[in-house]
Chains A and B, each alone.
Chain A
Amino acid sequence: MTTLTQTDPKATVLPLLEGSTWPGAAEALEQVHALPVPTSKTERWKYTRVGRLFNEPYAVPTGETDPALPARLPIDVTRVVFVNGHFRADLSDDLKSQKGLVIDSLKHHLSHGPVKEHYGTLAPTGERLFTAMNTAAPTDGLILLVTKDVKVDKPIHVLHVTTWERQLVQPRDLFMLHEGAEAEVIIEHIAMDTPEAFVNSVRECVVGESARLTIHRLQHESNGPANISFEGVRVASSGHYSLSTTTLDGALIRNEVKVSLSGPEAHAELNGVYLLNGTTHCDNHTYIGHDVPDCTSDELYKGIVAGKGTGVFNGKVYVKQDAQRTRAYQSNANILQGDDAKVYTKPELEIYADDVKCSHGCTIGRLDEQGLFYLRSRGVSDAEARKLMAHAFITEVVERVQNEEWKAVLTALIDAKLARL
């Protein structure tokens, strides 16, 4: 070993990344060696400290344990289970019940045409250490391939379970929707026992012409060092991509999504709710590229940050010179509770076209005291009044969820969390 590698803080993870046969793994490993661990001087990581993730070594994850799975969602879904990042057919539902559709372990499809064509194209490794780490040695992940005009008949529930070991789990998904296809996916991460897993995910989504992809992410791990994810998305003309991220618990969470609207009349909708307390740190980084004319995007993130929680929002909308008639809306609103909670928010618009309608805004405030007093003066207790007002603040985002059944599940989870804030 050279002195260089000995002092490299990444030495704790490097041994785990060697020898993978996934496409582009060798090149990605070189990138990992070359890229530094982000510090507060790295613009994209200014408010999120990741240095300590490299303090101690991790184990290679194993999918062979049999954790007790949580009860099924009270809605009709196709459940796909991953344990420590490994696909578990035995714990998953029948994934072959519908024609024109592939739902499977991505590892089994690496040599297939569509995978070869798209894998790695939306998750560049050149400047993102964690994306490079993932690409160097993915654990496994989900392939979702929906062929022309096929509408997936029920939501797919991807359940990621991690067990107690200190391990590096690197889920790697590839979603491909052909022309006119439709799919809805619920992605949930949970941890059993005292979780010590560092989950570093990458997902690539290729949304074809007039296709619709709806993703709901639910993050309520109770602990664990970190859940870092990068999602790269390309939407073709008249395609529709919608992502809603609900963060209720966790230690260090980083959700980065980069969307390219690459065909006219493509649409992206990004919604987020984060309810943070304890020492939970949640960082939402979004990028929407309006690359061609006549696309629309709409982004709404709202959070309540209490205790010693930290909320970070960085949203960039980039409108290329010839992307005329772009409409892009972005908003981030925060409620701070207590004196130790922190929020950093930075909306960014970069517009090079002249005929556009764009707006962005961010707010950081407290629950309206006058409203609280009004409710209390009618006999609503202080705690209940705060809950009502907090619920009212968040509800605008939840209302955007179109699947009524999922909305009901989400509302119950959110209300339960609000009661604990």
Chain B
Amino acid sequence: MLKITNLHANIDGKEILKGLDLEVKPGEVHAIMGPNGSGKSTLANVLAGREEYEVTEGSVTYLGEDLLELAPEERAWKGIFLAFQYPVEIPGVSNLNFLRTALNESRKANGQDELGGKDFLALVREKAKLVEMDPDLMNRNLNVGFSGGEKKRNEIFQMALLEPRLGILDETDSGLDIDALRIVASGVNKLRSTDKAFIVVTHYQRLLDHIVPDVVHVMANGRIIKSGPKELALELEEKGYDWVKEIA
């Protein structure tokens, strides 16, 4: 589904990703862990198409296509979704209005009929229930004045609504209380299926108790330096990153 080969990326002339390889197959969940500043969010943003990052070397194929050639919205239409580590606040843009535009543009691009107001609201209600999101938040301006946890929950709500093929969660668990963590995890688990995949960036084992990964990767200094089964996460939690850095 996704194949990243020798990916190098710069921001402001500074190299952040330094030859990263990763392959994700349909149905899989990959966890990415690693120290602060190792490039995890950079990877997530490059996959979503953030233009500030310049890819200098390597390739990314997604569903057999050159992903790097696509605009961010085209990637979204083909099923890529990034839940941001720091979701932005956009005053003056209503949560629902924007989501309806997003969903309908995506449906149009995929040759489906646009959803009318009533059907859209029904879908919103269903998905909001799934992530136990306060309906008041829907009508507010996008993320404006949302608490940290509410922003993260809104990310998962949007993901549930847009039903991506490849969901990338960048520290969605940070700042969540225990209940919210469970809700977010169950939201992801309900979306899991044989044709969908997830990349979950996290610092904590506890998320992986709920979303059990197929593979755990350790990222350091712009590369994946170790990959292993889910038990690797436990080992990291116990021993820290220095241990992997040494053996890598």
Binding site for B on A (CB under 8 A): 368-371, 373-382, 384-385, 388-389, 391-393, 395-396
Contacts and interface: CB of A to CB of B under 8 A. Distances in A.
Contacts of A392: 90-93
B91 A373 contact: no
B102 A379 contact: yes
B87 A379 contact: no
A24 to B, nearest CB: 47
Can you list the 7 inter-chain pairs with the closest CB atoms, starting with the nearest?
Answer: A392-B92, A379-B76, A376-B72, A379-B106, A378-B102, A379-B102, A376-B73
Given A376-B72, A378-B76, A389-B90, A384 B101 contact: yes
Interface of B: 48-52, 71-73, 75-77, 81-82, 84, 87-88, 90-93, 97-99, 101-103, 105-106, 109, 158, 162
Contacts of B50: 373, 377
Contact of A374 (B75, B77, B88, B97): B88
A377 B48 contact: yes
B80 to A, nearest CB: 8
Most buried by B among A373, A374, A378, A381: A378
Contacts of B49: 373, 376-377
A373 B97 CA distance: 17
Most buried by A among B49, B81, B93: B93
> Which secondary structure dominates where chain A touches chain B?
helix
23 contacts: A373-B49, A373-B50, A374-B88, A375-B90, A375-B98, A376-B71, A376-B73, A377-B48, A377-B82, A378-B99, A379-B76, A379-B102, A379-B106, A380-B101, A380-B105, A381-B105, A382-B71, A388-B97, A389-B93, A391-B92, A391-B93, A392-B91, A396-B92
A370 B87 CA distance: 9
A126 B162 CA distance: 65
Contact of B93 (A373, A376, A388): A388
B72 A377 contact: yes
Contacts of A385: 73
Contacts, number: 78
A391 B98 CA distance: 12
B133 to A, nearest CB: 16
Given A381-B73, A382-B73, A375 B92 contact: no
A379 to B, nearest CB: 4
A274 B51 CA distance: 30
B98 A378 contact: yes
Contacts of B75: 377
A395 B92 contact: yes
Contacts of A396: 92
B163 to A, nearest CB: 11
A210 B81 CA distance: 57
Contacts of A381: 73, 105
Nearest to B107: A379
Given A375-B98, A379-B73, 10 more contacts: A373-B48, A374-B90, A375-B102, A376-B76, A377-B76, A377-B81, A379-B102, A380-B98, A380-B102, A389-B90
Contacts of B88: 368, 370-371, 374
Contacts of A384: 101, 105
A162 to B, nearest CB: 35
Given A375-B90, A392-B90, A392-B92, A380 B84 contact: no
Most buried by B among A379, A389, A392: A379
Nearest to A391: B92
Contacts of A375: 90, 93, 98, 102
Nearest to A394: B92
Nearest to A371: B90
A373 B76 CA distance: 11
A378 to B, nearest CB: 4
A72 to B, nearest CB: 29
Nearest to B84: A374
B158 A378 contact: yes
A373 B98 contact: no
Contact of A379 (B52, B77, B93): B77
A378 B75 CA distance: 9
A392 B90 CA distance: 8
Contacts of B81: 377-378
Given A376-B73, A377-B49, A382-B71, A388 B101 contact: yes
Contacts of B51: 373
B69 to A, nearest CB: 15
Contacts of A368: 88, 90
Nearest to A376: B72
Most buried by B among A370, A377, A380: A377
